Structure 1
């Protein structure tokens, strides 16, 4: 009995090690492909958020600034946080269908593929933090100990994206139209999230209560707010913001695992 249990543990450890190795190789491959034949290479992960911040600052600073201190830093924090989710989910859409040839040849945990796309987006996000540091130096914003909230916030957002990525990756296997629909959803979601505008504008302009509640419950509003609290406002996130970040991360992960495990046995018939 003891030998049987020991063998099962050894087998599970071997499978996990193999899956982890495959995941690492796939993330590395994604990174190399993304910057292949690019003159500036990984520097684009820093330049993109900087250039976007400059353009958005010029366009929106007089319309939506609403007396926000260090508005460019406010913009870039919101932009890179939302972009992490956006890039992770866009890539997750084809995570299963794009790995069809591998899935037909190798026995591997299928959840690796949407998770791989999320981790690839995370790598780009880490490089984009260099842009945030440069903006902080420009505006002489010195980090405080509240910066420790950033890794926790990013971890919760990655968990959220893994769950959402599994749902999208599975959905596309059966309904290819999801790939086109998701672009519309991201656009609407982007405008619903205070990236270039301030949440206080809704209150000051007497927006309907249901609109205010919708924005407050928006998962990305809470993840963006946590990042800004830690870096820009240099304070602890409110219990409501942090609680909702944890809630959305765990809920989406649970839903993602449920949907993925319920449907993955049919993937081979549709890919």
Structure 2
């Protein structure tokens, strides 16, 4: 374990450079630059809240904030795993030239998405203040579901990046999967409108648990239950363990498929 820690500390400056590179590339030649990390969720919230609150008449108090809170969490998962999936392929030229711990490329993509997540979280707080939504002490616990989601997404990203090196079709299939997953996550709609069988299906989605925990502390002024916390930890650690195992077993053959 100490060897892995020393190796990580040795290459940490490279990780910082990779994260900075990802941020710069994403907003290169953009007039507003990183401000889009604030504007994107706000603009999407406006569009979706107007459409869905009027079209479906959801009985949700403060629906724009309900929608934005779900959007912040799901967008992070989607962005981090999608970008992590192509991280090894996108760094093929560097991997072929010098030795670099390959997990750093996946980690850098997730870290850059974390920066965007923090900006989106700030946008959520600003909207809550602008709409005079009462802020409770429970919001300080929001870091728990966020941290669990980051760990879960990193595990999924490691798994996807390893598989994608050999099977490029995964990139196209995953975009369809993420679209389907959005509708199986209560981002837009409340769980109360679903039939019983659909509640069971949506509840089986790990993102639903993280999103519910997040909304409990942000909007409902309640602390999530111990059961939800334990399930969230098991899902996050399980995803990370599987991702690390598959990545470790596959990384030596990456060079043959790049």
Give SS of 1:38's match.
coil
Give SS of 1:61's match.
helix
Please report how far the alpha carbon of residue 256 of structure 1 lies from its aligned counterpart in structure 2 after TM superposition.
0.2
**For 1:31-79, what per-residue CA distance to the aligned partner results, in whole angstroms no more than 9, with x for missing partners?**
1121121111111111110010000111000344532111100000000
Report the equivalent of 1:201: 193
- Residue 220 of structure 2, aligned match among 193, 208, 233: 233
Runs ≥4 in structure 1, deviation > 6 angstroms? Answer: none
1:240-259 alignment runs, 5 A limit:
240-259=227-246
Counterpart contact for 1:65–1:198, Cα < 8 Å: no
**For 1:119-143, what per-residue CA distance to the aligned partner results, in whole angstroms no more than 9, with x for missing partners?**
1111111111222022101221232
**Which runs of no fewer than 5 residues in structure 1 stay unpaired?**
1-7
Report the equivalent of 2:29: 37
Cα–Cα, structure 1 residues 111 and 65, in superposed 2: closer, same or farther, change >3 Å? farther
1:46-125 alignment runs, 5 A limit:
46-125=38-117
Cα–Cα, structure 1 residues 232 and 161, in superposed 2: closer, same or farther, change >3 Å? same
**Which runs of no fewer than 5 residues in structure 2 stay unpaired?**
none
Q: Distance in 2 between matches of 1:195 and 1:142?
A: 21
Give SS of 2:29's match.
coil
Taking only aligned residues, the RMSD between alpha carbons, in angstroms, comes to 1.6
Counterpart contact for 1:229–1:235, Cα < 8 Å: yes
Q: Are 1:263 and 2:253 counterparts?
A: no
Q: Distance in 1 between matches of 2:57 and 2:191?
A: 11
Counterpart contact for 1:104–1:268, Cα < 8 Å: yes
Counterpart contact for 1:156–1:245, Cα < 8 Å: yes
Counterpart contact for 1:193–1:215, Cα < 8 Å: yes
1:153-168 alignment runs, 5 A limit:
153-168=145-160
Q: Distance in 2 between matches of 1:13 and 1:223?
A: 29
Query: Would you say how many aligned residue pairs link Structure 1 and Structure 2?
Result: 258
Counterpart contact for 2:52–2:58, Cα < 8 Å: no
Counterpart contact for 2:68–2:124, Cα < 8 Å: yes
Q: How high is the TM-score relative to the length of structure 1?
A: 0.91
